[in-house]
Structure 1
Amino acid sequence: MLHLRVIAPGELRDDVMGLLRANAGVTHIVVHPDAAVDPTGDEITADIARECADDIVRGLKALGVKESGAMTLEVLDTVLSTRAWHAEDAAAGQPADAVIWDELVSRTREESTLTFTFVMFLCIACLIAAIGVVTDSPVTVVGAMVVGPEFGPLAGLAVALVQRRSHLAQRAALALLVGFPVAMAVTIAFTLIFEALGWVTLQTTRELNEVDFIFQVGPFSFVIALLAGAAGMLSLVSSKSAALVGVFISVTTVPAAGFAVVAATIGDWHVAAQSTLQLAVNLTGITIAGVLVLWVYRLRRTR
């Protein structure tokens, strides 16, 4: 279940209470009249089934609570209450299938922002990938996949396209268009340093036997990107974050960027181009899959 906290002006008290009481998935309603100081008003709390959360949030927004007060939602790990059990049972649908669109937008907006931390994670992941390439180590490449933060902006872009939120789309696109070039430039600099120190003896990518799959673009490259993108979006929608690890290690986004850098430094431009294409295919496939998954959820809700 979720814990809902509403701050609303006193004149909206009856409307908010009516909205909450009318929904069978709501219980444990508590009202603290005039308890809020900034903004002034009442504090109203309730425990709600996840299945009905989106309807309640949209109803509160229609009442003007977003502009005149505030709404917060918190996940409740443990609720010991017969009334809560009945509320969950009365709510239509299943918790894992419920999409709270405002929660999804809020989460992806935070993860899609171009920040110093995001760029640092991407640089570190790209460097690990490059080291995995020059050492022909698939284990190191997998480590780069896990560290890479690129799924956040891709998910944000998918949500923005479905919800038609241009600002979120611009934010996500900026993170990708700035983050990857910066990470690849930093990786180029460090790779050249490693080569100057004699740590890298790779002369051609033909010497690689374990990680050459990274730049080999084929029909399954796009299929895997679609499947990974769908799994990633499902994990976000259902709040099952464990599946994201599998998404990270199933597509070669960051490794492709690292491979392109290494191939370019040794003058293997054909392979560098193939790796860049692999990167583009994966980014595109993940975004398309995310859009399709969200579109299906939206269509299902409409019906």
Structure 2
Amino acid sequence: MIVQLRICVPAALSGTVVDLCMGHAGSAEIAVFRGSSVVPAGDVITVQLARESVEGLMEELHGLRVPELGSVSASTPELVLSERADKASKEVPGEGSDAVIWDEVSRQTGEDSRLTWSYLAFLVIATQLAGIGIVTNSAIAIVGAMVVGPEFGPLAALALGLVERKWAMVRAAAVALAVGFPVAMLVTAAAAWISIPLGLYPRDVLDHGQAVEFIYHPGPYSLIVAALAGAAGMLSMTSHRSSALIGVFISVTTVPAAGYIGVALVLGEAGKAAGSAVQLFLNLLGIVVAAAAVLLFLKFAQRRGEAKRALSKTPAARARPGAPRPPRR
């Protein structure tokens, strides 16, 4: 998998960046456009390199303060026909699908973690759909709620912020969750309160919902499912794969429980509401802990890979088998 970096730098720094890119393992093609950048005044450098080696180059660019003095953008071409690119991918150990670009993950989760009107609207709609599915004993409506649920973004941002110690991201994600779920449950409760006198469903409707009993019965399997969902969600994000179905998996453990709380409180089922609230809390905790554990494992694996690449660059490691060695003193 090939990634293309577009680097905009002042002219005084251009030569240093070009030398850095040329000496970086996994670089396939480098192009320099002298004087092409107007703001900031300088050069534009494009680099095509194996995805496995992008993170190492990004760290070195941060060391040169390139994001502060200019900019770095990354994109993934859909098709690259180049023998040099194929050779560069083979020279770098690891698989492109397993490589993590931490700036990419941080930017994506940061954008999805903010409390916005669209986030609130999607969460309210999802929780309301879950409430309808609960009172009608409809698995289809509950699945629809899982599809709409947007809570994966703040949960992933919370895990990443804790691991990276980015407290601003942690605060933003915590606010999105702490405000979003109560608002969604209040709207669902208000809809249930209006629906009862209209005769849309009887007060004992929760006594007949066999298909949704799993929502208010917290147990070990609930936490296991939540942990699996959190791990799968973070892996989908770090491996640059579609997280649409993973978002549905995440919502299995959150949105139905939130909808059940709103409906059960209005119907006077305090015990079931409490059980559902416990399940929601445990599931949120399990998702965040599992996602954070995946991030810590990926960081550990990446450090080991970088250490192996560094050792491979030493003269001893580069010595050909059978080549004469200098005499020992």
What is the TM-score of this pair, normalised by structure 1?
Answer: 0.97
Letter in 1 for 2:111: E
Paired residues of 1:29 and 1:47 also in contact (CA < 8 A):
yes
Distance 2:196 2:90 in 1: 63
Residue of structure 2 in register with 1:194 after alignment: 195
Distance 2:90 2:300 in 1: 24
Partner of 1:245: 245
Measure how far apart 1:287 and its partner are. 0.2
Q: Distance in 2 between matches of 1:101 and 1:202?
A: 51
Partner Cα separation in structure 1 for residue 197 and residue 32 of structure 2: 69
How far 1:193 sits from its partner (Å)?
Answer: 1.8
1:6 paired to 2:7? yes
2:131–2:188 CA contact under 8 A, matched in 1: yes
Instruction: Provide closer, same or farther for how the CA distance between residues 249 and 231 of structure 1 changes in structure 2, counting only shifts above 3 A.
Output: closer
The amino acid of 1:248's aligned partner reads V
Amino acid in structure 1 at the alignment position of 2:140: V
* Alpha-carbon contact 2:35-2:44 (below 8 Å) kept: yes
| Cα displacement (A) at 1:215 | 1.1
Deviations 1:97-147 (A, max 9, x none): 111111100000001111000000000000000000000011211111121
Could you give the per-residue CA deviations for residues 133-189 of structure 1, whole angstroms, max 9, x where no partner exists? 000011211111121011110000111111110011111111101111111111111
Q: Which AA in structure 1 matches 2:152?
A: F
Measure the CA separation in 2 of the matches of 1:78 and 1:193: 55
Number of the residue aligned with 2:309 = none
Contact 2:113 2:153 (C-alpha < 8 Å) held by counterparts: yes
> What is the SS of the residue equivalent to 2:221?
helix
Where does residue 143 of structure 1 map in the other structure? 144
1:204: Cα distance to partner? Answer: 4.8
In the alignment, which residue of structure 2 is the partner of 1:102?
A: 103
Q: Tell me which structure has the larger Cα radius of gyration.
A: 2
The superposition leaves residues 208-232 of structure 1 with CA deviations (integer Å, 9 ceiling, x where unpaired) of 1111111111011111111111111
Structure 2, unpaired ranges of 5+:
305-329
Q: Report matched runs for 1:26-105 at 5 Å.
A: 26-105=27-106
CA distance, structure 2, for counterparts of residue 52 and residue 113 of structure 1: 30
Query: Within 1, Cα distance between the matches of 2:225 and 2:267?
Result: 29
Structure-2 separation of matches of 1:48 and 1:161: 30
Report the equivalent of 2:132: 131
**8 Å contact from structure 2 (residues 150, 247) kept in 1:** no
Distance 1:246 1:71, change over 3 A: closer
Counterparts of 1:82-231 in structure 2, within 5 Å, are 82-231=83-232
Moved more, 182-191 or 104-113: 182-191
Contact 1:99 1:238 survives alignment (8 Å): yes
2:196 aligned counterpart, secondary structure: helix
3-state SS of 2:210 partner: coil
- What amino acid is the match of 1:96? S
After TM superposition, the score normalised by the length of structure 2 is 0.89
Question: Whole-Å Cα distance in 2 between the matches of residues 28 and 118 of structure 1?
Answer: 41
AA aligned to 1:68 is: L
Please tell me the residue identity of whatever aligns with 2:158: L
Tell me how far apart the structure 1 counterparts of residues 37 and 192 of structure 2 sit (CA, whole Å): 57
Give structure 1 stretches of 5+ with no counterpart.
none
Distance 2:247 2:172 in 1: 22
Structure 2 match to 1:287 = 288
Q: How many residues align?
A: 302
Letter in 2 for 1:26: S
| Separation (CA, whole Å) in 2 of partners of 1:196 and 1:49 | 63
| Aligned residue type for 2:119 | F
